Amino acid sequence: MILIYALGALSVLVPAVLVPVMATRWAPAVRDSRLADRLRVAVAGLTDAFGRLGAAFVVLLAGCAAVVAICWPLGELLSRLEPSVDHAVFDYVHARRVDVWADINAFITAIGDRYPLKWVTVVAAIAFAIAWRRRRWWIPLVAMPLQFVIEQYTQQILALTVNRGHPPTDLGTYPSGGCARVMLTFGTIAVLAGLTWNIPRRGRIALATALTVLVSVEGYTRLYAERHWFTDVIGGWIFATLLLGVMVLTVLVAENRVRPPVRSVDDLPIEATSTV
């Protein structure tokens, strides 16, 4: 029983420590990497070809397709762990359930349900549209419902293609939709907040940390509430992270906030670099 409580504490402590470290040490290297610059080159090319909104639409469609292409085989791989991992974790938790702790987890995990997040989505869309009334006010009005829709249907595509079943106590399947909905809804809110106000770097790191803690706790509560297999939650975290990345890039492209690519000497035409 102590192990279950310890894992609950770790679901808060691990992301609270890991995210600031990643944001300060790894994020700058990723941002300045050659791969990131190639992505900026691709976005610039799409914007030149289709315009800002057309490029955002292409990014959204291509990104969702890439998420499915990655998470589909991942789901098949995780399904093979069900007899050895998922059943063992489920049996361990089920045998040690405490009513009070189960009620607390059932209350917390409801934040990832569709109904309450529908209201969060509507309120956030209207609030940011008002805050953006002197600029492209329609972007948050579209982005907030859009994140809700793409999460729902992308998750359903994966659930149908992997088709791994569910625990005997609930209908939750791969990937965990609760984790994904929390990540997409509050992650999109955090991005819009960053575009609305001049939030300092420490504030942005704090937002990312709070979001990650919330998603991590959601995964823990889904396990204790016996609504998902353990590997459903792992897959849900990966799925949510990838899909949020797609949504963030889509909003940044639509808002024209993507940094221009760095043109190195190797990228210049041969004529411009040749000497007589």
Alpha helices in 132-229, H assignment, sequence order: 138-162, 177-196, 201-224
Report whether pLDDT(273) > 60. no
pLDDT of residue 263: 62
Query: Helix or strand or coil: residue 197?
Result: coil
More confident residue, 249 or 259: 249
Average pLDDT over residues 224-245: 96
The chain-wide mean pLDDT, for the chain, equals 92
pLDDT of residue 270: 46
pLDDT of residue 115: 94
pLDDT of residue 267: 53
- Please, what is the angle between helix 201-224 and helix 230-254, to 10°? 150
Phi-psi label, residue 133: left if phi above 0, alpha if psi -120 to 50, beta otherwise: alpha
Report whether pLDDT(98) > 50. yes
Neighbour tally for 218: CB within 10 Å? 26
Per-residue DSSP letter, 165 = -
Q: Smallest Cα–Cα separation from 170: which of 112, 222, 228?
A: 228
pLDDT of residue 101: 94
Q: How far is CA 213 from the centre of its chain?
A: 13
- Please, what is the angle between helix 34-79 and helix 138-162, to 10°? 40
At residue 31 the predicted structure's pLDDT band, cuts being 50, 70 and 90, is confident
Average pLDDT over residues 109-114: 95
At residue 134 the predicted structure's pLDDT band, cuts being 50, 70 and 90, is confident
Q: Largest alpha-carbon pair distance within the chain?
A: 82
Q: How far is CA 272 from the centre of its chain?
A: 42
pLDDT winner (highest mean) among 25-29, 64-68, 253-257: 64-68
Note the pLDDT tens digit of each residue in 141-158.
999 999 999 999 999 999
Report whether pLDDT(23) > 70. yes
Report whether pLDDT(80) > 50. yes
Q: Please give the Cα distance from 254 to 43 (Å, whole number).
A: 11
Q: Please give the Cα distance from 156 to 174 (Å, whole number).
A: 9
Q: Among all chains, which residue has been given the structure tokens 């106590």?
A: 169
Long-range CB contacts for residues 70-76, cutoff 8 Å, separation at least 24 = 70/242, 71/158, 71/175, 71/235, 71/238, 71/239, 71/242, 72/158, 72/161, 72/162, 74/235, 74/238, 75/158, 75/161, 75/162, 75/164, 75/174, 75/175, 75/235, 76/162
Q: Are 173 and 232 in contact (CB under 8 A)?
A: yes
Average pLDDT over residues 121-137: 93
Query: Which of 202-206, 238-242, 262-266 is predicted least confidently?
Result: 262-266
Q: Are 220 and 7 in contact (CB under 8 A)?
A: yes
Q: Please give the Cα distance from 106 to 101 (Å, whole number).
A: 9
pLDDT of residue 56: 96
pLDDT of residue 211: 97
Q: Please give the Cα distance from 130 to 138 (Å, whole number).
A: 10
Query: What share of the chain has pLDDT > 90, as a percent?
Result: 84
Query: Which of 45-54, 107-116, 179-188, 263-272 is predicted least confidently?
Result: 263-272
